[in-house]
Amino acid sequence: MLIKRNPNGRDLPFPSEITPREVFESRRSFIKQLALGSIAGSALAEMAMREAFAQNAGAPKLAAKPNTSFVLMDKPTAFKDATTYNNFYEFGTDKSDPARHAGSLKPRPWTVSIEGEVKKPLTLDLDSLMKLAPLEERVYRLRCVEGWSMVIPWIGYSFSNIIKAAEPTGNAKFVEFVTLADKKQMPGVTSPVLEWPYVEGLRMDEANHPLTLLTLGMYGEVLPNQNGAPVRIVVPWKYGFKSAKSIVKIRFVKDQPQTAWNIANPQEYGFYSNVNPNVDHPRWSQATERRIGEDSFFTRKRKTLMFNGYDQVASLYTGMDLKKFF
Ligand SMILES: Nc1nc2c(c(=O)[nH]1)N[C@H]1C(S)=C(S)[C@@H](COP(=O)(O)O)O[C@H]1N2
Ligand SMILES: [Mo]
């Protein structure tokens, strides 16, 4: 990936906002209490949630029940940081470009077509997507291949619900995610940094894993444009680039998809791209990471965890050489 450096030599002095963090800290202790059973009743839960989210005014709210099986002990990244430090090359390659330029994306009306090796091809508009399964809030760590990570309260449901609805045939071995590439809405698509549209893919069992999240919102709101509105995928045990934004097509296919980053540089970006501290990127180590919002000059980097800490996916790869299938 293109890593740009500031003239001062560090690739990012990062101002973090205090308020959203305080909000999320109070909310987190609330979730913990909820998990411990010391808060009962969904009306109360609803009220506390509203209170916690009142700070992020602006975008339409999206209600979702926290799924307490997916709560991390890590402090969530400030909303401000998660929405101003982004990779979304359709809007430019600087981290600040998506926040500055994604206003031209029109996330509504939107349809996603589900096609290929399926018994039930579907074209779903946003309302149908929102209603396909109950929305859950899940706090996931997302680690970019560039060596930074964030902790984000996403809203969505397991992608396995889409698989169930589409009824793939026995020929379906992989899922391909095709994202919007519209020059009128996306100024970066005129630049040849990647082949457009941005395509990503998963093996069928990866796509079916409960962790794989069809994502429609974050921080209690619909997805901001720069984070992949109106619908993206989030695959938390893989490097961030597998989590394709602004998806328009989901194809069930026989063969391993040709993905944007793999086409751009197959030596550096493999199809699997599982977070793996033991397999370095050809140009840098993957052993540690910088948590966005923690980067003062004196902050120690964090150790990167195998599968980004999501050990429950390890069984998907038994017998595979993860140095070869990077
Ligand atoms: N369509 C599209 N999806 C994309 C990208 C992109 O450039 N285009 N960048 C990826 C990369 S490299 C990362 S790290 C994540 C960043 O997601 P975030 O900005 O919501 O944190 O989005 C991924 N999804
Ligand atoms: Mo990334």
Residue 297: per-residue pLDDT: 79
- Ligand 1 in reach of 149 Cβ (< 6 A): no
Q: Which of 11, 87, 112, 286 is the pocket-test mutation for ligand 1 (most atoms within 8 Å of CB)?
A: 87
- Ligand 1 in reach of 102 Cβ (< 6 A): no
Q: Give 43's contacts (C-beta < 8 A, 6+ positions apart).
A: none
Quick one: angle between helices 18-36 and 42-53, nearest 10? 170
Classify 246 as helix, strand or coil: coil
Which protein residue has the closest C-alpha to ligand 1 atom 11? 241
How far apart are alpha carbons 104 and 122 in whole angstroms? 27
Identify how many contiguous H helices and E strands the chain contains and give both numbers.
Answer: 8, 13
- Ligand 1 in reach of 137 Cβ (< 6 A): no
Please name every residue paired with 215 in a beta bridge, in sequence order, or none if there are none: 156, 232
Paired tokens of 141 = 């760590």
The residue whose two tokens read 């990936």 is: 1
Classify 215 as helix, strand or coil: strand
How far apart are alpha carbons 257 and 255 in whole angstroms? 6
Atom of ligand 1 nearest to the CA of 197: 1
- Ligand 1 in reach of 213 Cβ (< 6 A): no
Task: Set out the domains of the chain in order of their start, with CATH numbers.
Answer: 62-317 (3.90.420.10)
Asked if the peptide bond before residue 109 counts as cis, ω within 30 degrees of 0, the response is yes
Nearest CA-CA partner of 294 in 19, 82, 4, 14: 14
- pLDDT (tens place) for every residue of the chain, 326 residues total: 665 544 433 343 333 333 344 444 455 554 555 454 444 444 444 444 444 444 445 789 999 999 999 989 999 999 999 999 999 999 999 999 999 999 999 999 999 999 999 999 999 999 999 999 999 999 999 999 999 999 999 999 999 999 999 999 999 999 999 999 999 999 999 999 999 999 999 999 999 999 999 999 999 999 999 999 999 999 999 999 999 999 999 999 999 999 999 999 999 999 999 999 999 999 999 999 999 999 787 888 999 999 999 999 999 999 999 999 99
Predicted structure pTM score: 0.85
- Ligand 1 in reach of 244 Cβ (< 6 A): yes
Atom of ligand 1 nearest to the CA of 179: 1
Asked if the peptide bond before residue 134 counts as cis, ω within 30 degrees of 0, the response is no
Residue 27: per-residue pLDDT: 52
Nearest CA-CA partner of 230 in 107, 99, 103: 107
Residue 57: per-residue pLDDT: 53
Which protein residue has the closest C-alpha to ligand 1 atom 16? 87
Counting ligands in written order, the one closest to the CA of 91 is: 1
Atom of ligand 1 nearest to the CA of 194: 7
Q: What is the b/e burial string over 46-82, where b = at least 16 CB atoms within 10 angstroms of the residue's CB?
A: eebbeebbeebeebebbebebbeebbbebebbbbbbb
